[in-house]
Amino acid sequence: MQNELRHLDHDEILQSTREIEVLGYTKVENVLSEQLLENLLSIIEKNKTLGAGAKPESAGVSKNQANDMYVYHLQYVDKIFLDVLTEWKGGLDILQHFLNDPYYRQIPENEPNFLLGFYNARSSVDFLPLHIDNYVPSLGNHPNAMQIIFSLNGQTEAKGGTFVVPGSHRSGLLPDRSLNNITTPINCNPGDALIWDSRLWHGAGENKTNEDRWSLVATFRPWYLKQNFDPVRGMTSHMFNKLSDSQKALLGFLSIPPRDEYEKIVLKEGYDSLLPSIQEYRDKPAND
């Protein structure tokens, strides 16, 4: 995997970090090799849903998503999707500046202590209007969510490029959709990555071609905010046993809410608190 990624040096990490601070986003070109793109797309092809609406059990699908294809919860599908995040010198290093809790002493300070919130692959069709993924707008230097998007098929205006309002992450406002016409388009080649502060007003154009527009969309949150999946019930033993300690931390295994005060008081834990098997997380009975 290491050789399939273009790693960033210190200066590029600083430059991207600065761009996110000022503009709300950064584009990093040429991150994924052709071979890696091929592998990722072939796994997606085997696991995709044909239109989110076609999967009856996926409740709460919005009208916007009904024509899109998805692979939900990539963290459970194949370890390669987690490796893309954790093996890449670049993405998580940039996010640490924004999402790491400086008072989380149980994990070394140069390692991520934030969480993967949600991780999907998506090939979109319909226009996606300006929105934020921070839930509530806020001011200051600490967003409550950030995203890394890897474009697998590339995106042009015809294929539905991403568009953003640069600097809007610092507005403290929900998006004004009447401003769709003053947005900045961001096109990508296959293998490029976008990283943004989820307060950024962003959206995506309609895909007017018959071609796929797959991206990996990974959303990250600080350790104290809820994820969109339950790692204890969702993770198979097979996958759990293959994960590194830092991948387990990213998935939330170091800040699982306790059953009660006898289990633990402080939520923040270090690698030495990891349990050896997923079964042990599930088998913790109440003290009745």
Ligand X SMILES: O=C(O)CCC(=O)C(=O)O
Write out the residues near ligand X by the rule CB under 6 A: 124, 128, 133, 162, 202, 204, 215, 217
CA distance 178 to 185: 16
Q: Which is nearer to ligand X, 149 or 278 (CB)?
A: 149
Cα 38–Cα 44–Cα 46 angle in degrees, nearest 5 = 105
Q: Is the distance from CB of 143 to CB of 220 less than 8 angstroms?
A: no
Q: Which is nearer to ligand X, 90 or 203 (CB)?
A: 203
Q: Which is nearer to ligand X, 77 or 249 (CB)?
A: 77
Q: Which is nearer to ligand X, 134 or 255 (CB)?
A: 134
Instruction: Please give the residue whose beta carbon sits closest to ligand X in the complex.
Output: 162
Q: Which is nearer to ligand X, 86 or 155 (CB)?
A: 155
* Residue 147 Cβ vs ligand X, minimum distance, rounded to whole Å: 7
* Residue 46 Cβ vs ligand X, minimum distance, rounded to whole Å: 22
* Residue 200 Cβ vs ligand X, minimum distance, rounded to whole Å: 9
* Residue 251 Cβ vs ligand X, minimum distance, rounded to whole Å: 20
* Residue 97 Cβ vs ligand X, minimum distance, rounded to whole Å: 21
